[in-house]
Amino acid sequence: MPEPMIRQTEAGADTLAERYRATRALSEALVAPLSEADAQLQSMEDASPAKWHLAHTTWFWETFLLRDHLPGYRLFDEQWPFLFNSYYEAEGPRHTRARRGMLSRPSLAEILDWRAHVDAAMKRLLDDPARADVVELGIAHEQQHQELLLTDIKHALAENPLGAAMFVSSSPVRREEQAAGWREHPGGIALIGHGGEGFAFDNEGPRHRVLLEPFALAERLVTNAEWEAFVTDGGYRTPSLWLSDGWAWVQREGIGAPLYWREGDHFTHSGWQVRDPDAPVTHISYYEADAYAQWAGCRLPTEFEWEALAQDEDPAAGNQLDGAEPPLPAGSASLFGDCWQWTRSAYLPYPRYRPAEGAVGEYNGKFMSGQFVLRGASCATVRGHSRASYRNFFYPHQRWQFTGLRLAKDV
């Protein structure tokens, strides 16, 4: 695989094998509370059924490792690549995304059998140093789908008028002490992008220089109580706060609060719960984040400002996913965790960026149009998955992910 795609980890093969097994096991633990019917739900085109996530991640291992690199390997089912390819044009035609919820067959049990078949075959490749870079990519890819699985099933269960719960309500996450001030940065030339140690996606590089003006980021994320004040003050009814596209979206969709809000409650993986006023606000669009920043007399940070301050922080800190626990934003003193943070930066290639050749080159580069970058990690992000250079990205109207904001200002 060409160098621009990923960089091989420093960890040994045994560690890589253990991480592979732990990742595969977590995917299955996350769907354990779901019925067959739950696992097939697709509530909108942006989301996919939980069953599909299990299958697609398995297709990934079969397609990019086992099919071409394990002599004698035969596909578990010759028809399934058509069903579970996502967007890889180089891999041929595929079932349309909007109709994934119609796939009542194969059953959840059959997909779990396929996963076991692939895991058994992968044992012969996990100790091969020549395949380590693709294994790293596959682990990171499955971790991304674990977060998508959680946010997709949350959206689907929220459609149930009874407020169906995936998990039994857990104890509130302990909140860390949070300062209410600002982190200042003097500006100057900053090195942005992955530095070459360990794994990174291709869109995190090449490392390059960026000139920053003096700025500051808020010490903590915007909270539910602060957002409630924005709502009460007519934030969703004041066109001067909104970008033109955002105001058109608010009017067209009848938006008046973050996704999953009603009265003093919000919908969680444990059903409807009382909303914690001090927890970070989540499930907001870029349009909403930008309007709030205008209302607060601030702005959204650029992705480069955010990274410049995050480079010395532990990316595994904060409130992130530890095992198959119900994710819940709580608030922490870290730049990482709780929710992905909208930036004002368009998702574009860095200078000298070149996607890898072949199908894996379709992973990130072809989506660099019309989307905005989010930084950090969320309460549904597997701990250890993110890093300071990590670039998440979504369209400005999307908000079913755990998305929030951290204010910025010029100094």
> What's the total number of domains in the chain?
2
Which of 158, 174, 199 corresponds to the end of one domain? 158
Q: Tell me the CATH number at 111.
A: 1.20.120
Residue 105, judged by CB atoms within 10 A of its CB (0-12, 13-18, 19+), counts as: exposed
In a domain, 278, yes or no: yes
In a domain, 251, yes or no: yes
Q: Answer yes or no: is pLDDT of 299 > 90.
A: yes
pLDDT in tens, 223-267: 999 999 999 999 999 999 999 999 999 999 999 999 999 999 999
In this structure, how many other beta carbons lie within 10 angstroms of the beta carbon of residue 34?
A: 20
- 154 and 188 housed in the same domain: no
Q: Tell me the CATH number at 212.
A: 3.90.1580.10
- 152 and 186 housed in the same domain: no
- 190 and 153 housed in the same domain: no
What is the pLDDT averaged over residues 339-363? 88
pLDDT band at 171 (very low <50, low <70, confident <90, very high): low
Element (H, E) at 145: helix 132-158
- 23 and 121 housed in the same domain: yes
Element (H, E) at 226: helix 224-232
In a domain, 108, yes or no: yes
**Geometric angle at alpha carbon 392, from 389 and 393, rounded to 5°:** 135
Measured CA to CA, the distance from residue 164 to residue 276 in angstroms comes to: 20
SS3 content of the chain, % helix, strand, coil (to 5): 40, 15, 50
| Closest CA relative to residue 384, chosen from 74, 146, 175 | 146
In a domain, 169, yes or no: no
In a domain, 49, yes or no: yes
- 151 and 202 housed in the same domain: no
What single-letter amino acid sits at 281? V
In a domain, 240, yes or no: yes
In a domain, 176, yes or no: no
- 186 and 153 housed in the same domain: no
pLDDT in tens, 34-77: 999 999 999 999 999 999 999 999 999 999 999 999 999 999 99
- 106 and 191 housed in the same domain: no
pLDDT band at 7 (very low <50, low <70, confident <90, very high): very low
- Residue 332 has a pLDDT of 85
- 116 and 210 housed in the same domain: no
- 266 and 336 housed in the same domain: yes
Q: The domain containing residue 81 runs over which residues?
A: 13-158
- 207 and 148 housed in the same domain: no
In a domain, 163, yes or no: no
Which of 125, 158, 191 corresponds to the end of one domain? 158
- 115 and 239 housed in the same domain: no
Q: What is the mean pLDDT of the chain?
A: 92
- 338 and 237 housed in the same domain: yes
Measured CA to CA, the distance from residue 383 to residue 41 in angstroms comes to: 27
